[in-house]
Amino acid sequence: MKIILLGPPGAGKGTQADLICERFSVAHISTGDMLRAAIKNQTETGLKAKTFMDQGALVPDDVVIALVRERVLEPDCKNGYILDGFPRTVEQAKALETIAAIDAVIDINLPDDFLIERLSGRRVCPQCGKSYHVDLLQGATTCSDDGATLVQRDDDKPETVLSRLKVYYQKTAPLIEYYKAKGILHAVDGTQYYKILGETIAKELHAVQ
Ligand code: AMP
């Protein structure tokens, strides 16, 4: 199975990707995670990506396409993978067609007020990447798995959240029609509790399998 998870920032793509990976034994490919790792390791790609990411802008297509092209060759992708945060432009979608044949595109829909609330309240563990929301932390400031102090992603700060949403509508939302026309789009309601949403997505994917 080769799956794309589409949806605006804050739709819960990372959480759903983790659930799908476990259930369908596929690899999780998150271009956002790969770029953050590249920045942390101060690689050439990381240096190129940082200014774009800090502004909530998209990293140039050729940079992310090259990352994905290499990543899918790794052994854990043999059984399939879920692409989380890629493609984000029609250009990337076209390049992906030269890399792999996609079986299904899951599009997670959510109204903007939900997204803004989710992104601004998100806190992440800098060690393991686990995500939390301030409303559910009850004052806790550390990761329940490894005790690291939780942080707010630079691009989750309010001013950047709005530009990320704008970029989503301009550059990524056209992919909904693109994949609908190919007959592989499955739209799901992202306002559902994350476990119910996971079941909904699994049902859609079982039907494709
Ligand atoms: P994410 O963790 O998926 O929300 O991605 C965080 C940031 O990484 C985005 O706001 C972009 O700056 C960059 N990024 C991630 N994936 C892509 C992509 N496919 N194309 C361009 N930029 C990306």
Interval 169-190: pLDDT, tens: 999 999 999 999 999 999 999 9
For residues 37-41, give the mean pLDDT.
Answer: 94
93 — pLDDT class (breaks 50, 70, 90): very high
DSSP of 53-106: HHTTPPPPHHHHHHHHHHHTTSGGGTT-EEEES---SHHHHHHHHTT----EEE
Domain range list for the chain: 2-110+163-208
Candidates 2, 36, 71, 88; catalytic one: 88
- For 109, the 3-state DSSP assignment is strand
Cβ atoms of residues 164 and 171 within 8 Å = no
With a 6 Å cutoff on the Cβ, whether 107 touches ligand 1 is: no
Q: What is the pLDDT of residue 129?
A: 86
37 pLDDT above the threshold of 90: yes
How many H-runs (helices) and E-runs (strands) does the chain carry?
10, 7
Residue 153 a catalytic site member: yes
Residue 123 a catalytic site member: no
Residue 69 a catalytic site member: no
Ligand 1: residue whose CA is nearest its atom 11: 58
Pocket test for ligand 1, best of 6, 15, 35, 39 (most atoms within 8 A of CB): 35
Residue 88 a catalytic site member: yes
With a 6 Å cutoff on the Cβ, whether 64 touches ligand 1 is: yes
**Radius of gyration of the chain from Cα atoms?**
16
Interval 112-133: pLDDT, tens: 999 999 999 999 999 998 889 9
Closest CA to 33 of 128, 118, 108: 128
Length of the chain: 209
Interval 41-61: pLDDT, tens: 999 999 999 999 988 899 999
Q: What is the pLDDT of residue 77?
A: 97
CATH code of the region 2-110+163-208: 3.40.50.300
For residues 191-202, give the mean pLDDT.
Answer: 95
Q: What is the pLDDT of residue 159?
A: 85
Q: What is the pLDDT of residue 66?
A: 96
